[in-house]
Amino acid sequence: METRRGDLLLAALVAVVLTAVVTAAGSTYDDVEPAAYLWAVGFGLLMLVRRDRPLLVLALTTVGFFSYYASGFPPIGVGVPMAAALYSAAEVGAVRAAIATGVVVLGLSTAYRLAVGQGTAFVLGYELVYHASLMAAAVALGHVVRVSRALRRRTDQVTGLLVRQGELDASARLREERLSLARELHDSLGHSLSVAGLYAQVAQEAGSDRTAGTQALALVRESVLDGLAHLRRTVAVLRSPRPDDDQAPGLADVAGLMTAPRAAGYDTTVEVADVDVPESVGTAAYRVVQEAVTNAIRHSTGNRIEVRVAVDGDGPLEVTVRDDGRTPGRLEVEPGHGLAGMRERLRTLGGTLDVTPGHSGWTVRARIPLPRPADVNTGGAS
């Protein structure tokens, strides 16, 4: 609608300007034929189809220009009747056609005026410069308008892409946060509930030994409360725009994970190297041991769990958890949220996870790369 309104305005402007020029030029004539004004209106009407047929409008304007002068009407110059058509052609990208047409029309007009005896200084000086400048300005304006529109479209496209990329980044961050919370809930609540179930079984098996049963039930209560505490901290993180300040578990807390299986009668061995590792690495190692011990408590038919966390030379941090339970006939590991969560956590640190059955029991082995001393001391500079 706005485009059509602009074309109507341009058509009216061309008709009015050319009518005024015809009137001014005809002041030296005794009488101006009405047909001259029809030509002025015709030049204006061509602007109504300039967007759909810009080259046709340029050609008809050129033919109309020469036909006007051939009819003997008052002179109206070259630049004024041709300017709108030249602008329209350049606006749609036909700059070469507009320039070529302008040069041809201006050249033929100048040659004709010189041939009929008009003053050379006037024709080649003032008139040629004036009309050439007007026609060149029309072509340049059309080209600038076209480039500006293309730049605006490109800017809108880039803005749209940036907005879309921002939405994708926000979605990825949200997904990562959800995965992180899911891992934390699974690791903490899963362990607490598994330990509570283990102690409940101990209490059930205590039979008439009320002391052992009472102690086991107390441990059940403690495990459930620990799980609820983890749940409250997770909910607090969800409700708050800023994460809580609780210190994440690390290598120093690994030994505490063996309290439950030891109380349940498992023979446990814990060997944790005294090494300084980044907090993220220590937390990942702790969660791997926690998940492996939880799986052993829930599924193992053995009575022994071994945990080893060590660093061999400049190699990665290695976390190994073994149990001596019975292994299935097929050497396959059924996928679950716990294993998926461990792999996701390790993948973010560049680590790997292997879960394999042995002659008796399962072995969980994680490898987490550590920053080299040179990278820590020099920041990786060469």
Q: What is the pTM of this model?
A: 0.50
Per-position pLDDT tens, the chain of length 382:
667 788 888 888 888 888 888 887 766 655 667 888 888 888 888 888 888 888 999 999 999 888 888 888 888 888 888 888 999 899 988 999 999 999 999 888 888 888 877 778 877 877 888 888 989 999 999 999 999 989 999 988 888 888 888 887 777 777 776 776 676 666 666 666 766 776 676 666 666 666 766 776 776 777 677 767 667 766 666 666 555 445 678 888 888 888 878 877 788 999 998 888 888 888 888 888 888 888 887 777 788 899 999 988 788 999 999 988 765 544 444 455 667 777 877 888 888 998 888 677 788 999 999 886 655 444 444 3
Provide CB contacts within 8 A for 379, sequence distance 6+: none
HEC readout, the chain: CHHHHHHHHHHHHHHHHHHHHHHHHHHHCCCCCHHHHHHHHHHHHHHHHCCCCHHHHHHHHHHHHHHHHHCCCCCCCCHHHHHHHHHHHHHCCCHHHHHHHHHHHHHHHHHHHHHCCCCHHHHHHHHHHHHHHHHHHHHHHHHHHHHHHHHHHHHHHHHHHHHHHHHHHHHHHHHHHHHHHHHHHHHHHHHHHHHHHHHHHHHHHHCCCHHHHHHHHHHHHHHHHHHHHHHHHHHHHHHCCCCCCCCCCCHHHCHHHHHHHHHCCCEEEEEECCCCCCHHHHHHHHHHHHHHHHHHHHHCCCCEEEEEEEECCCCCEEEEEEECCCCCCCCCCCCCHHHHHHHHHHHCCCCEEEEEECCCCEEEEEEECCCCHHHHHHCCCC
Q: Are 58 and 98 in contact (CB under 8 A)?
A: yes
Q: At what angle do helices 128-206 and 210-239 cross, to 10 degrees?
A: 170
Cα–Cα dist 323/338, whole Å: 17
**Residue 188: per-residue pLDDT:** 64
Structural domains of the chain sorted by starting position, each given as residue range(s) with its CATH number in brackets: 2-118 (no CATH), 250-382 (3.30.565.10)
Burial of 363 (0-12, 13-18, 19+ CB in 10 A): middle
